[in-house]
């Protein structure tokens, strides 16, 4: 880690502590502080509720206009379009790859979207010593992701697709497909 990054991270940690105390001043103050502290761009009429952490250590976070972000937390790099709803207890995490979410996307409660996972194949080494692998996650426009679903690294969900509740999306989902289950398979298409 270079010195500049290290200093920035320390500064962000202090601000995170401060956030815990200023929570009662409401969301507007937090948004203002995020914007001056982090690599974060927030569009107009975008609001946050009950978010616990914003982390731009790995990359910037860009959020479009008219979004409602009620996620537990966001870890960059992330790019979110306009009119996006991310519901309670969901989390979006890029880390070493990017998560892109299009316009008019609905993400139900308790959805996890992650672009990074552990390497684990070598049984002679601890999993935590094997590093991570990552691949971008892309979610198209007008996608609806049902509650409790998990979107794994490297997945692309096409425009207009629907992911049923509690699905685990391990592979790409075509445009306008309705996919359900673990692993998620296409059961139909929107007409
Ligand atoms: C995927 C979904 C949209 C499909 O709804 P629908 O069009 O009414 O479809 P049906 O209920 O007729 O289901 C069609 C088939 O898929 C199966 N199915 C539906 N949802 C499923 C799911 N999440 N996981 C596994 N199978 C599912 C049904 O059992 C049915 O199977 P069958 O044909 O063998 O009987 C819906 O089931 C769902 O998961 N909605 C998400 C709800 C949610 O997250 N709400 C939060 C509010 S933001």
More confident residue, 17 or 121: 121
Asked if residue 77 lies in contact with residue 63, where contact means CB atoms within 8 angstroms, the answer is: no
User: How confident is the model over 160-172, as a mean pLDDT?
Assistant: 98
Whole-number Å distance between alpha carbons of 57 and 8: 8
User: How confident is the model over 85-103, as a mean pLDDT?
Assistant: 97
CATH code reported for the domain at 42-189: 2.160.10.10
Question: Which run of H or of E encompasses 123?
Answer: none
Residues annotated catalytic, as ranges = 118
pLDDT value of residue 25: 58
Model's pTM, two decimal places?
A: 0.89
Provide the token pair at 139: 């979610």
* C-alpha 106 – ligand 1 centre gap (Å): 16
User: How confident is the model over 38-48, as a mean pLDDT?
Assistant: 89
3-state secondary structure of 144: strand
Residue 24 — very low, low, confident or very high, per pLDDT cuts 50/70/90? low
Q: Is the CB of 177 under 6 A from ligand 1?
A: no
Provide the token pair at 62: 């860009």
> Is the confidence at residue 1, as pLDDT, over 90?
no
* C-alpha 91 – ligand 1 centre gap (Å): 22
For residue 145, give the ligand 1 atom closest to its CA.
Answer: 44
Q: Which of 87, 165, 176, 179 to mutate to test the pocket of ligand 1 (most atoms within 8 A of CB)?
A: 165
Q: Is the CB of 146 under 6 A from ligand 1?
A: yes
* C-alpha 112 – ligand 1 centre gap (Å): 19
The C-alpha angle 174, 180, 183, rounded to 5 degrees, equals 90
**Dihedral over alpha carbons 183, 68, 87, 25 (to 10 degrees):** 140
pLDDT value of residue 110: 98
Asked if residue 162 lies in contact with residue 146, where contact means CB atoms within 8 angstroms, the answer is: yes
Residue 2 — very low, low, confident or very high, per pLDDT cuts 50/70/90? confident
Provide the token pair at 7: 């200093």
Q: Is the CB of 107 under 6 A from ligand 1?
A: no
> Is the confidence at residue 123, as pLDDT, over 70?
yes
User: Could you read off the pLDDT of 97-114 as tens digits, one per residue?
Assistant: 999 999 999 999 999 999
User: How confident is the model over 1-19, as a mean pLDDT?
Assistant: 76
């Amino acid at each position: 880690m270079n010195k500049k990054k290290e200093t920035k991270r320390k500064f962000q940690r202090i601000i995170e502590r401060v956030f815990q105390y200023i929570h009662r001043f409401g969301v507007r103050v937090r948004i203002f502080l995020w914007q001056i502290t982090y690599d974060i761009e927030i569009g107009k009429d975008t609001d946050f509720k009950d978010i616990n952490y914003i982390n731009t250590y790995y990359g910037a976070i860009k959020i479009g206009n008219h979004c409602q972000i009620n996620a537990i937390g966001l870890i960059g790099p992330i790019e979110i379009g306009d009119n996006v709803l991310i519901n309670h207890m969901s989390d979006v995490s890029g880390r070493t790859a990017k998560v892109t979410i299009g316009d008019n996307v609905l993400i139900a409660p308790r959805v996890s979207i992650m672009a990074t996972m552990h390497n684990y194949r070598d049984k002679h080494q601890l999993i935590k010593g094997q590093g991570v692998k990552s691949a971008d996650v892309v979610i198209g426009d007008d996608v609806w992701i049902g509650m409790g679903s998990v979107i794994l690294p490297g997945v692309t969900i096409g425009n207009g697709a629907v992911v049923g509740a509690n699905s685990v999306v391990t592979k790409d989902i075509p445009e306008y497909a309705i996919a359900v289950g673990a692993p998620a398979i296409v059961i139909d298409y929107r007409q």
